[in-house]
Amino acid sequence: MNRFLALSIILLLVCCQPAPERNCEAFKTGTFTFTTTIDGEEKTTVFTRSERIEIEEFEQKKDTSSVRWINDCEYVLKKLNPKNRLEEKSIHIKILTTSDSSYTFEYNAIGDKRKFRGEAIKTH
């Protein structure tokens, strides 16, 4: 009986946890930073997004992508001027959680099963 009671309490606690906050509308436009580690070195990307265009600056190079919103929390980026086959692949981005000034997201190249996570911080 004690196991049943303990299991019931655990299930009740897990089931009643509030869903993570997702105010994706607040992050559809603006200027953001995203920092990741590449070959052991931290690299930062700054990007500015409007409803339909995103301009990314990484290592003093700028790229422009179209933005197509699937729903309030998911969108697809497609480079407007890809320089190689890899850049031709669209990127699917899904906002998982939000806070006052940042959001956690999951992203992958469309067709690639590998998914990565990151955090974007809104600066403007």
Q: Which domains does the chain have, with CATH numbers?
A: 21-122 (2.40.128)
- Spatial distance between the Cα atoms of 24 and 10, rounded to a whole number of angstroms: 31
| Predicted model pTM | 0.78
Whether residue 47 is predicted with pLDDT greater than 70 in this model: the reply is: yes
Q: Give the helix ranges, DSSP H, for 1-124.
A: 2-15, 85-88
Comparing 52 with 20, which gets the higher pLDDT? 52
- The residue assigned the tokens 């911080």 is 121
pLDDT above 80: residue 61: yes
Under the banding of pLDDT at 50, 70 and 90, the label for residue 38 is confident
What is the C-alpha to C-alpha distance for residues 4 and 119, in angstroms, rounded to an integer? 40
Residue 77 has pLDDT above 70, yes or no: yes
